Amino acid sequence: MTATQPFQPALSWPGRTNEEWRRSSVDRFALVTRKPSAPAQVGTKLLPHDSAFSGRLMFVDGVLTGVDLSPELKAQGVVFGALTAAAELVKAHLTLGAAKADTLASAGHYARVEFGAVLSVPARLVAPEPFLIEITENRKDVLTTPHLVFSLAEASQASVVVRWTSPGQKFTVDSATSVELGNGANFTLSELQTQGAGAAVLDHSFASLGRDAQLFHWCAPIGGAVVKTRFDFVMAGEGSSVKTHGLYFGTEDQHKDLRISLTHAAPHATSYALYKGAVRDRSRTVFQGLIEVNPGANGTDAYLSNKNLILNDGARADSLPQLKIDTNDVKCSHGSTTGKVNEDEVYYLTTRGFSQAEARLFIAQGLFAELVDEAPAFLRDEVELLVACSIGADADLGACKDE
Amino acid sequence: MKTLRIEGLTAEIEGKPILTGVNLEMKTGEIHALMGPNGHGKSTLANILMGHPKYTVTGGTITLDGEDLLAMDVPARSKAGLFLAFQYPIEIPGVTVGKFLKRAAEIHMAVRGEKINVTKFIKQAREDMSFLEMDHQFINRYLNEGFSGGEKKRMEILQLLTLKPSFALFDETDSGLDIDALKVVSKGINRLRGNDFGALIITHYQRILNYVNPDHVHILYQGKIVTSGGNELVHALEEKGYDWVKEKYGV
């Protein structure tokens, strides 16, 4: 499954002089010291079809343990399975990804890809229900390298929900997702990451959109000890649009560094990025957001917003929005706010009988409400609880898991 | 019958004295109007009663039915039956009116040892909204966010009707309202009027008092109540303006 690498200059490990890596040391991911995992020998089980989903894939410890795909969709040419299910398509994606790798940290993924999933949707097909991919890791001290490929042909429509979980052991996941949308394709990708407290998460994902294609990306990186993600969206086709929304939290000693880039490579594309975070305890988050408008991308409409809530002194959130515009005829803006809970709002709620702690929780939850509402319907209650548990250490939340 | 008693109250904000000795006694069943020129401590008194952290009480006492109000934190005052209708209600993005109102009702019912019945609560909230001529869709909107001035004040009255406090303080609730909104707000206050409800209507103008007739009228000037009386005081102010107060009571 390893890609044939075209000739490229020798890559090095990213250091502190690399802007993208300046706030997160690559050493924390133990990419060199942790051994690539050898997949356990477990067979794949065909799951009974669950009509709430177009299909389901369950990965445990690097092995595809369960598969379910709607028979109708299968008959219509939908491919949904392990990477080997569409080897040529996957190889093309991996080759492209390897060519983009700019440091050893991102190149390593392509040298090691170990398991993963592929979804290929033929032209004009509409998959009504979401595809679910669950990736669970239980092994200690391993370095796992999953890769996900989502390819939607012209005018097709699909949605995918990816869930990442682990119980709390120390390990590294070095993942990447590549999305390719044909002309007029419509894709929703929702990612809920609830890794345990020992996980080091490194992810570098990529999406390319054809003419008039639409992508809605929603992500909630909740768990993990150290998390560094990068998602590059390229609007290659005229009139394409990307909406990427994220909600993220820092608790205890978590370190999260999220980067997105939105490249307008064709005219009349629109992008809307909205990321909201909250930090407490001694945690730190970094959000880096770049809107890049290439020459000739006239009529670009781009907006990027990042809001951070600091829940206590000692927690830190950095917000680094950036615009790089090489065309005149554009509408681009970005906004960034970082601050504490508004005391006037707290006072107002306390005058209605709310305790200080509950008032603060309500207000902080309110910040994330619009993003919680956009979670896949079957995950909404869980996401709401995760938000409450991530921000409301002081409130009475018996339902939160002990960490 | 409950009593709210303020004695010799002095208070300051950031070291600047605002109240210089306020004495006032209110009982449930009574509507009091507190009038006076701007900047003489009317809103300060309301916020001190509610417990705003920005103000410092430097002397005097406030008791609610004999209990030391100043010893209570803000939520305790609310649970003890005190309500403040804000002059500028605060916007809380992402918190729907329904979620907020239900939780506030739940907190107050728990004080009385009751549990909330959600169906009954929703039915009552809808009735109250109809009474206040509010669109039922308000229940799904974020609290005060993007509300017009009149909608915010109606929202305050909706909370008043939901929480049914013993004493309500209306901090210039009439300011910025058109006549229709003023009538609706007054209708809400009048609905609670009775033996179990007392109110302090803080206002600069007599307009709201045409719709909510006060039993007692007080004039707050230079940080203290300089005179008290009945409706005749309202008419005196209407005729002579606040200059009359300044001439008579100014230092």
CB neighbours (10 Å) of residue A77?
A: 12
Query: Could you tell me if A332 and A397 lie in one domain?
Result: no
Residues A46 and A66 in one domain: yes
Among candidate residues A340, A375, A393, the one where a domain is terminated: A340
A341, A352, A362: best mutation site toward chain B, by most B Cβ within 10 Å?
Answer: A352
Using one digit for the tens of pLDDT, what is the confidence trace for B20-58? 999 999 999 999 999 998 888 999 999 999 999 999 999
Give pLDDT tens digits for A75-132: 999 999 999 999 999 999 999 999 999 898 889 999 999 999 999 999 999 999 999 9
Asked whether the beta carbons of residue B78 and residue A362 sit closer than 8 angstroms, the reply is no
Same domain for A120 and A91, yes or no, is yes
Contact call for residues B51 and B59 (beta carbons, < 8 A): no
Contact between A354 and B75 using a beta-carbon 8 Å cutoff: yes
Residue A229 parent element (H or E):
strand A226-235
- Domain assignment present for A185: yes
* Res. B249 pLDDT band, cuts 50 70 90: confident
Same domain, A252 and A239: yes
Residue A352 domain boundaries: 341-403
Element (H, E) at A390: helix A380-391
Q: Within a domain: residue A8?
A: no
Q: Tell me what pLDDT residue B204 has.
A: 87
Contact assessment for residue A364 and residue A311, using Cβ atoms and an 8 Å cutoff? yes
Helices B118-131 & B97-111 angle (0-180, nearest 10): 110
Q: Which of A299, A320, A340 finishes a domain?
A: A340
CA distance B240 to chain A (A): 37
Q: Which residues of chain B does A358 touch, with a Cβ-Cβ cutoff of 8 Å?
A: 103
Give which of A184, A228, A187 is closest to A207, Cα–Cα. A187
Alpha carbon distance A122, A296 (integer Å): 31
A241 plus A388 within the same structural domain: no
Judging contacts by C-beta atoms under 8 Å, the chain B residues touching residue A365 are 94-95
Q: In chain A, what residues touch B91 (CB-CB under 8 Å)?
A: 345
Residue A12 lies in a domain: no
> Residue A2: inside a domain, yes or no?
no
Same domain? For A269 and A217 the reply is: yes
The tens digit of pLDDT for each residue in A1-39 reads 455 555 556 888 898 888 888 888 888 888 888 888 776
Q: What pLDDT is stored for residue B46 in this prediction?
A: 96
Q: Is residue A139 a part of any domain in this protein? A: yes
A8 at B interface, C-beta within 8 A: no
Task: Verify that A370 and A332 share a domain, yes or no.
Answer: no
Pick the last residue of a domain from A289, A314, A340: A340
Indicate whether A6 belongs to any domain: no
Q: Which domains, from first to last, does chain B contain?
A: 3-94+166-249 (3.40.50.300)
Residues of B with CB under 8 A from a CB of A: 50-53, 73-75, 77-79, 83-84, 86, 89-96, 100, 103-104, 107-108, 142, 159, 163
Q: Which segments in chain A show pLDDT lower than 70?
A: 1-9, 39-42, 393-403
Q: What is the count of structural domains for chain A?
A: 2
User: Which of B54, B84, B95 would best serve as a mutation to test chain A binding (most A beta carbons within 10 A)?
Assistant: B95
ipTM of the prediction: 0.96
Q: Does A11 reside within a domain?
A: no
Cβ-proximal residues to A36 (8 Å cutoff; 6+ apart), any chain: A112, A114, A142, A143, A144, A145
Contact A366 B95 (CB under 8 A): yes
